[in-house]
A and B are shown apart, each in its own frame.
Chain A
């Protein structure tokens, strides 16, 4: 199936064309951007990123682990201090807090890898539609479409001020 790559200078028209293409029923759209532009990400997929769940689960696991290891270990090796409980909960809050951050942060990294599908592709091989100009300052919209739709996609991309429209075989 051919893929059409529209090249843009600005994130605004790039987002507009991605939205129009989605509205026309083209599902296989990808956008390349040289920096983070939320409007582009939402144009392709308006759903919130799933990384949030990873952070939440990591954080909760961290706070549980922090309190659990400190309380359990205090009871496993009891040190009697004036008849007080073996576990000193207020001080263990520090362990719980630090592990919340540690596990939450590591889970966020893992979430980035899983949700962002990284590492991506084969080592040293980028998508055919990708080029170094997208790590310069240009934006790209890539659509996979049937042969009969090529003309429509081409004219839609040009109508949104595409600098170039190229055809690549994937």
Chain B
């Protein structure tokens, strides 16, 4: 080719590129280097997973008897913990999908970590279904696959609906998480060396941020948000129907679906706060995850706490108003029977504690946020404990009433579930950008062009 007739000769040699974006540097810095504390936390998490694995192996050898299952209770801590982790998984999709559709820009600082928590929480929850039924390696029995017996699964069972709901939720959460991650993986790829370069090059799929790529990406995120919004509402509704479709006193209530969904969002937001408050402090992300973000989350906690509190009250009201003796007795025993500590812990943590968030000073006071959100996590576990255990142990016939105490095996595996979740999250901190860089950048560039109208992070 002949050289161009002098026009851009002065610019044939590219000028040195300006220093990298401050947003890139700040957020990618989280992935660099590891401290002693990091390895210690990771080791503790892995050790607790190992412990839970050991207990599970022993349970497989010995049988589900060691899980404390005895008449009349065959749903215990495993199911309680399953519902707890499914609930935790709701914040990510709510933040990513519903707040995206509402154009709530403040979600950008927290959506990535919340999505990651969703994926890890669903994976944790899924373990418990296998642990609970015993022979985990036969889990595929629940899927409708052609078999020699010519037998199909029962689609009328809420447990079957749950299988479809949880599988869909896990898949869509992973897809959502990955699609959102692609542009940020390209940012990491352009700056990484060694094995990380290979990893991010493979995962970024050759992303260059061209208009074709961005257009398809934005459209996919929009569609996935549209799909995930009803999904997030359906998943915990379906989980609630595992209970509500039965005739067990304390379970057989039409309010269960919205009550469970609100509770799930409540616990999910609480977990995001509990995790992100230390992460923000350790990795100095105050410029990106601001008090404004935490305050908005506290508002969500207050709203969902009121919905949950209302549901508790309605349950008691309907038990009284229905005139059904079994219902009345179940609810009386919840508050004043052998499980009264669980019930009052649940009410204190979920209904009373969050009322502090009526005050702006407390909504923006980080230690208060951390303590209240941690107590909400505890309270929400107890909520599921109360719903499942008290109802099953006090059914219609007093002759078959019993008292349930969690066994050491159940508690060990319960503790291990936190290790399982933390292990993934701790590894995620060092492998992927903890904040959605390109989304934060979008706000920052808009701000630079049009002046500061929002609460986006500091300029690049």
Which A residues have a C-beta under 8 Å from some C-beta of B? 1-2, 4, 10-12, 30-38, 40-41, 43-45, 48-52, 55, 59, 66, 69-70, 73-74, 76-77, 79, 88, 91-92, 94-95, 97-102, 104-106, 108-109, 111-113, 115-121, 123-124, 126-127, 130-138, 147-148, 150-151, 154-155, 164-167, 169
Q: Does the CB pair B156–A91 fall under 8 Å?
A: yes
Extra inter-chain contacts (11) besides given A36-B217, A91-B155, A137-B445, CB under 8 Å: A35-B442, A55-B227, A66-B164, A102-B168, A102-B171, A116-B212, A117-B212, A118-B207, A136-B20, A164-B11, A167-B4
What per-residue 1/0 map shows which CB atoms of B198-218 lie under 8 Å from chain A? Answer: 100110011111111111111
Distance in angstroms between the alpha carbons of A80 and B197 in the assembled complex: 60
Distance in angstroms between the alpha carbons of A34 and B178 in the assembled complex: 18
Q: Which of B21, B171, B197 contacts A136 (CB 8 A)?
A: B21
Q: Does the CB pair B24–A101 fall under 8 Å?
A: no
Q: Does the CB pair B154–A79 fall under 8 Å?
A: yes
Stretch at the interface among B31-39, B119-127, B186-194: B186-194
A-B contacts counted at CB < 8 A amount to: 247
Residues on A with beta carbons closer than 8 Å to the beta carbon of B238 = 94, 98
Distance in angstroms between the alpha carbons of A131 and B14 in the assembled complex: 11
Q: Does the CB pair A135–B14 fall under 8 Å?
A: no
When C-beta atoms are compared, the residue in chain A nearest to B440 turns out to be: A35
Please classify the interface of chain B as helix (H, G, I), strand (E, B), loop, or mixed, using the class held by over half of its residues.
Answer: helix
Q: Does the CB pair A92–B215 fall under 8 Å?
A: no
Q: Does the CB pair B17–A131 fall under 8 Å?
A: yes
Q: Does the CB pair B449–A135 fall under 8 Å?
A: no
201-256 of chain B: CB within 8 A of chain A: 201-202, 205-220, 223-224, 227-228, 230-231, 234, 238
Q: Does the CB pair B21–A137 fall under 8 Å?
A: yes
Query: Is B5 in the interface zone, CB < 8 Å from A?
Result: yes
Q: Does the CB pair A120–B207 fall under 8 Å?
A: yes
Residues on A with beta carbons closer than 8 Å to the beta carbon of B144 = 69, 73
Query: Is B152 in the interface zone, CB < 8 Å from A?
Result: yes
Q: Does the CB pair B21–A34 fall under 8 Å?
A: yes
50-90 of chain B: CB within 8 A of chain A: none
With A135-B24, A135-B209 as contacts: A51 and B11 at CB distance below 8 Å: no
B218 to chain A, nearest CB (A): 5
9 A-B contacts (beta carbon < 8 Å): A12-B449, A35-B438, A36-B218, A94-B238, A98-B238, A102-B171, A118-B207, A124-B198, A132-B20
B442 to chain A, nearest CB (A): 4
Residues on A with beta carbons closer than 8 Å to the beta carbon of B340 = none
B222 to chain A, nearest CB (A): 9
What per-residue 1/0 map shows which CB atoms of B10-32 lie under 8 Å from chain A? Answer: 01101101101101100000000
With A105-B172, A108-B223, A132-B17 as contacts: A76 and B8 at CB distance below 8 Å: no
Residues on B with beta carbons closer than 8 Å to the beta carbon of A105 = 168, 171-172, 175-176, 224, 227-228
Q: Which of A10, A124, A148 contacts B449 (CB 8 A)?
A: A10
A137 to chain B, nearest CB (A): 4
Residues on B with beta carbons closer than 8 Å to the beta carbon of A104 = 223, 227
A88 to chain B, nearest CB (A): 5
Q: Does the CB pair B208–A120 fall under 8 Å?
A: yes
